[in-house]
Amino acid sequence: MKVIEDLKDLAHRANQYTSFSPERRGDQLIKEYSADLLILLEDVPEEHHKWVTEKYVKLLSAWWYSKSRCMSSMITGPSNFPTRRAQKLNNWENGHYTTFRSWRNSIAQKLQRKAAKQNWSLEGEINRLKEEAENLTAYQERMKAANKILKGKLSPAEKLDEMHNIGYQTMTADFLQTMEIFPQWQLTNNRACIKAREARISELEYRLKAKEDAPKETTTNGIRIVENVAENRLQLFFEGIPAPAVRDILKKNGYRWTPSVKCWQAYLSGGKWKIDYVLEQINNL
Pair 136, 204 in one domain: yes
What is the model's pLDDT at position 243? 92
What is the model's pLDDT at position 31? 93
**3-state SS, residue 285:** coil
| Measured CA distances, 249 to 50, 188, 218, 264, 270 (Å) | 41, 43, 20, 11, 15
What pTM, to 2 d.p., does this model score? Answer: 0.51
Contact 252, 230 (CB under 8 A): no
- Distance of alpha carbon 149 from alpha carbon 136, whole angstroms: 20
Q: Structural domain of residue 150, as residue ranges?
A: 123-210
- Distance of alpha carbon 191 from alpha carbon 187, whole angstroms: 6
Domain end, chosen from 183, 210, 237, is at: 210
Q: What is the pLDDT of residues 266-278, one digit of tens each?
A: 998 776 678 888 9
Q: How many domains does the chain have?
A: 3
- Distance of alpha carbon 227 from alpha carbon 207, whole angstroms: 12
Output helix, strand, coil percentages for the chain, rounded to the nearest 5. 65, 10, 25
What is the model's pLDDT at position 142? 94
**Residue 81 clears pLDDT 90, i.e. is over it:** no
Pair 167, 243 in one domain: no
- Distance of alpha carbon 112 from alpha carbon 118, whole angstroms: 10
Pair 10, 92 in one domain: yes
Smallest Cα–Cα separation from 1: which of 57, 75, 68, 48? 57
- Distance of alpha carbon 278 from alpha carbon 271, whole angstroms: 9
Pair 11, 68 in one domain: yes
| Measured CA distances, 221 to 140, 160, 238 (Å) | 54, 73, 10
- Distance of alpha carbon 119 from alpha carbon 124, whole angstroms: 9
Pair 192, 240 in one domain: no
How confident is the model over 10-39, as a mean pLDDT? 89
Query: What secondary structure letter does DSSP report for 215?
Result: P
Contact 64, 14 (CB under 8 A): yes
Domain end, chosen from 97, 119, 141, is at: 119
Our CA angle for 22, 25, 30, nearest 5°, is 120
Domain end, chosen from 119, 136, 159, is at: 119
Query: What secondary structure letter does DSSP report for 266?
Result: E
- Distance of alpha carbon 154 from alpha carbon 173, whole angstroms: 14
- Distance of alpha carbon 282 from alpha carbon 280, whole angstroms: 5
Pair 270, 238 in one domain: yes
Pair 89, 28 in one domain: yes
**Residue 143 clears pLDDT 90, i.e. is over it:** yes
Pair 133, 84 in one domain: no
- Distance of alpha carbon 107 from alpha carbon 98, whole angstroms: 14
Q: What is the pLDDT of residues 179-219, one digit of tens each?
A: 899 999 999 999 999 999 999 999 899 888 888 788 889 99
Query: How sure is the predictor about 151, in pLDDT bands with cuts at 50, 70 and 90?
Result: very high
How confident is the model over 242-254, as a mean pLDDT? 92
Pair 163, 235 in one domain: no
Beta strands in the chain (DSSP E): 216-220, 223-228, 233-237, 256-258, 263-267
Pair 151, 224 in one domain: no
Pair 82, 127 in one domain: no
